[in-house]
Chain A
Amino acid sequence: MEATGAEIVVRCLAEEGVEFVFGYPGGAVLNIYDEIFKQNKFKHVLVRHEQAAVHAADAYARATGRVGVALVTSGPGVTNAVTGIATAYMDSIPIVVVTGQVPTAAIGLDAFQEVDTVGITRPCVKHNFLVKDVKDLAVTMKKAFIIASTGRPGPVVVDVPKDVTAHLTEFEYPATLEMRSYSPVAKGHSGQMKRAVQMLLEAKRPMIYTGGGVVLGDASEQLAEFTRLLGFPITNTLMGLGGFPATDRQNLGMLGMHGTYEANMAMQHCDVLLAVGARFDDRVIGNPAHFAREQRRIIHVDIDPSSISKRVRVDVPIVGDVQNVLADMLVLLKQAKEKPDAAALNAWWTQIELWRSKDCLKYNRNGAIIKPQYVVEKLWEVTGGDAFITSDVGQHQMWAAQYYKFDKPRRWINSGGLGTMGVGLPYAMGVQLAFPDAQVACITGESSIQMNIQELSTCKQYRIPVKVVTLNNRYMGMVRQWQEFFYGSRYAESYMESLPDFVKLAESYGHVGMRIDKPEDVEAALKEAFSPALKERMVFMDFQTDQTENVFPMVEGGKGLSEMILAEEL
């Protein structure tokens, strides 16, 4: 039977087992929306801004490991979606974005709502397609899902002109598909893996540093077994949190610009470093020249060869999927006659414990003003450490990362690479829809939340009961902190005045609003928000926090990892 392009798009999504399509209609996609209206295989979620559609699809992917899907119209629909696409791209998140386009005959004629979607999105997608012939549509959709979800994942855009959605062709959805130009490496090189295991067993001061790749590659079980067998210290990047349990003593916490003292010191002073699914980001290793001053041998496991030896020289590169590579190295490790050097390891741990005893995350708990760190700690307690936490970008994001101890992967949903303010609320929506019974909290700032505040309306329509935890310091705190440290406390445009009454705002959408001013009320408010009585309700908590609190430790731009500013030194 012949089908129209619009039917084909919808049937391909159904074939892929898509549960949710996050989108917003417009002229170029009306044929597709008409087919969505007629089907019941997946649910369409109408957001209030296309950026939020892509963020919600992105969060769905981060939380479930499956491909997220968004649908937007041509022109402004696409340009609104670009921030979402770039956000997913920087963190390697598998999403497929279907975009409407003007009819093929109108392309290039400055038609109404025409933009060069393939051109605009090219630098921030893993791949993109313009489908000019309806006969190519099903195959292109299949390719999009394969490319998005395999190898190093990433966003794929499929641009479909309006006439193509009306044209007819036979519909057949390929079960699999070979692409001669695309074949990601899965298995690691056996010789390199042997060298790596040998090097690890010879180490005196070993360190394991893992990132988003462990989460994306669903390898946390393999990582846990590997790390525990070796007894080595481990640190996670911001994107890798939850890849190894935060409450495990072997975990030194996050490293990097706002990493713990012990993680950064161990990273700087180790003699063998095993990097797994982490890309030596500039917010992670500080000044690369300073990092290179210390002699250490580096083993780097990554599925993307271009991540290896990009910012630091690597001694043993291993290209492959982290799950396979760790499983294979685990076998080699168990077969090896040698054991890790127990005496050396003991001495190393003694040194690490000394660093850890600095207690670099301590803060003043006795004031009359709510400390943001305290809110996150209490949230961790109240949710039993088992919630999905999304965040926006700023100080609150760092406090969430530092004080909510993630023991499981895919629980921490944030924008690391692009650092996009405004992701928090749509992220929480995507996660909550995927896991309707889970506790989902969005830790945000009063500035970030306003960047996609319109989504309170989406939460109302679909009864999405996310809990928003606003650490309201009446400042773009992260900006204010830099201005305090590096610009002589000249707070140029980083205040947030004329704020709405968030309680009333939430209530106007039919949600529950709470304002919390005193430390002694924090716990009760959180308990109430997560109580069975409010389980079905969206709750907006506005915590009035200390305006001048800063995030510590901190490695200034250009400084070395071991040159941290600690709280007490100020």
Chain B
Amino acid sequence: MRHIISLLMENEAGALSRVAGLFSARGYNIESLTVAPTEDATLSRMTIVTTGSEEIIEQITKQLNKLVDVIKVMDLTEGRHIERELMLVKVKAVGTGREEMKRTADIFRGRIIDVTDATYTIELTGTGSKLDAFLEAIDSAFIIETVRTGASGIGRGERSLKA
């Protein structure tokens, strides 16, 4: 099962390597990992997307909690949550394909943020599966480059992760 784990940790040098090291040392999967400081610059917020059996996910959250720099850990997928990822795609946009590409981007609520005679750069946000769906919807021969941030997540309603 796919899980989205959110955590708050001290914004210190080497914090990221402690988390990354934990995952590699114990052989846990990482699908994506995003990290940035929060409104409180002493804190970093990290979102990790991982997969594993219930036992493994339980160990992952326990092991993360055990890291001395980690303040709080929450498995977002255990409750209602919102997941968003940002993707930038550079595509060939020539001839009839140019109009077609714009239409597909519109359908997915993508924005064209850079244009040349032959290319579009499209910005899309959404869940990972929406971004996947966009890539499937366009002819892969047109794709020049894609870059994705990996998922960020937040709890719905009152559910929050606070230090």
Contacts and interface: CB of A to CB of B under 8 A. Distances in A.
B130 to A, nearest CB: 34
B21 interface: yes
B62 A305 contact: yes
Given A118-B14, A119-B17, A181 B63 contact: no
Interface in B38-65: 55, 58-59, 62-63, 65
Interface string A113-142: 000001100110011001000000000000
A182 interface: yes
A482 to B, nearest CB: 26
Contacts of A306: 59, 62-63, 65-66
Most chain A CB inside 10 Å of its own CB: which residue of B18, B59, B62, B163: B62
Nearest to B55: A309
Contacts of A118: 14
B147 to A, nearest CB: 28
Contacts of B13: 130
A182 B62 contact: no
A500 to B, nearest CB: 39
A187 to B, nearest CB: 17
A305 B58 CA distance: 10
B143 interface: no
A78 interface: no
Contacts of B63: 306
B5 to A, nearest CB: 15
A130 B59 contact: no
Interface stretch (B67-75, B84-92, B95-103, B150-158): B67-75
Contact of B9 (A127, A147, A181, A304): A181
A440 to B, nearest CB: 34
B155 to A, nearest CB: 20
Interface in A299-341: 304-306, 309-310
Interface size class for chain B? Answer: 20 to 34
Interface in A152-209: 179-182
Contacts of B55: 309
Contacts of B69: 127, 181
B62 A123 contact: no
B21 to A, nearest CB: 6
Contacts of A182: 68
B65 to A, nearest CB: 7
A306 B25 CA distance: 15
A305 B71 contact: no
B23 to A, nearest CB: 12
A310 B55 CA distance: 8
B10 interface: yes
A122 B17 contact: yes
Interface string A347-387: 00000000000000000000000000000000000000000
A179 B10 CA distance: 10
Contacts of B59: 306, 310
B65 A305 contact: yes
Nearest to A147: B68
A180 B163 contact: yes
Contacts of A180: 71, 163
A371 B110 CA distance: 80
A121 to B, nearest CB: 11
Contact of A181 (B14, B58, B62, B71): B71
Please name the 3 residue pairs, one residue from A and one from B, whose CB atoms are nearest each other, closest first.
Answer: A306-B62, A127-B68, A181-B71
Given A126-B68, A309-B58, 7 more contacts: A119-B17, A130-B14, A179-B68, A180-B163, A181-B10, A306-B59, A306-B66
Interface of B: 9-10, 13-14, 17-18, 21, 25, 55, 58-59, 62-63, 65-66, 68-71, 163
6 contacts: A119-B17, A126-B68, A180-B71, A181-B68, A305-B62, A306-B62
